[in-house]
């Protein structure tokens, strides 16, 4: 019979593979970025991601299991899409917004996965694993917030291909797109996702 522990270990192997793939992908994303703040944010998260790999190995050990990966098809697809979008927008004023979008898709997948793993570790009574997974989850959330801030502060406006005064009526029209009159302008990738889902 398939148990919660079997589900947990299977998903843990999935994320172990995902994090190791992300370690290889982040330097390429940093190289493609033309915004210094975005480059620094990506490289800072690279160091965290290398730490995530080690923490996941500790989680395996806390269950007396050897660390092993299982191909994470979702991450394979998201990283491939990220490569394609970076190639499509290379040299464009929208390159940084494109990279943030690709990175946030990965972050949201990781946040969902680690949220489940953390909950399951608690149900399985493994406090050490739960604490390690919570640490990773918090870092993924923080990385996502940093990306949202960068999108809002510069990258999305740069993607318009012109300088935008965010305090003006004209700016509201530019950033608001086809939202109904009176709606808050959508400026970040996160906001766009929320607007689409409503």
Backbone torsions φ then ψ of 126, nearest 5 degrees: -105, 95
Res 177: pLDDT: 37
What is the model's pTM? 0.80
CB 136 within 8 A of CB 52: yes
How high is the mean pLDDT of the chain? 86
Say whether pLDDT at 87 is over 70. yes
Distances from the Cα of 22 to the Cα of 26, 43, 49, 152, angstroms: 6, 12, 7, 24
* DSSP line for 23-35: HHHHHHHHHH---
**For the chain, domain boundaries:** 4-167
CATH T-level assignment (fold) for domain 4-167: Ferritin (1.20.1260)
pLDDT mean over 29-54: 97
Looking up tokens 């318009």 gives 160
């Amino acid at each position: 019979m398939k148990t919660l522990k079997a589900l947990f270990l299977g998903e843990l192997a999935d994320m172990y593979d995902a994090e190791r793939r992300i370690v290889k992908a982040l330097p390429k994303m940093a190289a493609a970025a033309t915004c210094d703040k975005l480059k620094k944010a990506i490289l800072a998260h690279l160091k965290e991601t290398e730490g995530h790999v080690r923490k996941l190995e500790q989680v395996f050990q806390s269950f007396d299991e050897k660390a092993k990966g299982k191909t994470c098809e979702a991450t394979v697809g998201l990283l491939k899409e990220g490569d394609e979008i970076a190639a499509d927008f290379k040299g464009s004023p929208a390159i940084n917004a494109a990279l943030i979008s690709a990175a946030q898709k990965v972050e949201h997948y990781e946040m969902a996965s680690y949220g489940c793993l953390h909950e399951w570790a608690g149900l399985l009574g493994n406090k050490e694993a739960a604490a390690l997974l919570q640490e990773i989850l918090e870092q993924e959330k923080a990385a996502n917030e940093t990306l949202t801030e960068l999108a809002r502060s510069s990258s999305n406006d740069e993607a318009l291909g012109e300088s935008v005064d965010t305090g003006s009526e004209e700016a509201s029209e530019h950033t608001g797109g086809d939202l109904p009159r009176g709606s808050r302008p959508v400026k970040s990738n996160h906001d766009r996702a929320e607007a689409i889902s409503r």
